[in-house]
């Protein structure tokens, strides 16, 4: 029997405060912890906490870990995210699922699919 649970997903970034604020707005969460701008935690109303830690040089290329978000209306949410500064990366469709890959203001990729 495992006792592990996901407590937080941590994202390396150049400006933790700015990126945490951007994600808090997108997820209707709040910045709960701010360690002098070096490590900032966002608590969304649902799901794991998001941590943003300052690194001098974020890993180049595609992230090895990314957020998969669900929305009641995927296309409306993608449009809202783009208006807030997200960049469209790609659209994918398979027989039973479709999703959109976006990048946040620091270039971290994340996906949005329709809920259910």
Structure tokens at 79: 């449009």
Exposure of 112 in the CB half-sphere (CA atoms within 13 A): 23
| Tens digits of residue pLDDT in 67-88 | 989 999 999 999 999 999 999 9
Same domain, 12 and 30: yes
Number of domains in the chain: 2
- For 79, what's the count of Cα atoms within 13 Å in the CB-facing half-sphere? 4
65 and 107 assigned to the same domain: yes
> So what's the pLDDT on residue 37?
95
pLDDT for res 25: 97
Q: What is the pLDDT of residue 59?
A: 80
Sequence length of the chain is 116
User: Residue 4's pLDDT band (boundaries 50, 70, 90)?
Assistant: low
Kindly report, residue by residue over 22-75, the tens digit of the pLDDT.
999 999 999 999 999 999 999 999 999 999 999 988 788 778 788 989 999 999
Angle at 88 between CA 84 and CA 92, to 5 degrees: 135
**Enclosing domain of residue 1:** 1-58
Burial readout 8-18 (b: 16 or more C-beta within 10 A, e: otherwise): eeebbbeebbe
Q: Provide the pairing of β-strand 87-94 with 39-43.
A: unpaired
pTM of the model: 0.85
Judge if 97 and 66 occupy the same domain: yes
| Contacting residues for 97 by C-beta, under 8 A, at least 6 apart | 113
């Amino acid at each position: 029997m495992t006792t592990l649970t996901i407590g937080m997903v941590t994202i390396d970034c150049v400006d933790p405060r700015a990126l945490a604020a951007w994600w808090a707005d997108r997820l209707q969460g709040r910045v709960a912890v701010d360690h002098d701008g070096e490590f900032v935690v966002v608590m969304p109303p649902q799901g794991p906490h998001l941590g943003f830690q300052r690194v001098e040089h974020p890993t180049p290329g595609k992230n090895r870990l990314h957020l998969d978000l669900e929305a009641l209306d995927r296309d409306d949410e993608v449009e809202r995210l783009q208006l807030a500064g997200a960049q469209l990366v790609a659209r994918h469709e398979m027989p039973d699922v479709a999703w959109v890959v976006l990048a946040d203001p620091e270039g971290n990729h994340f996906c949005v699919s329709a809920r259910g």
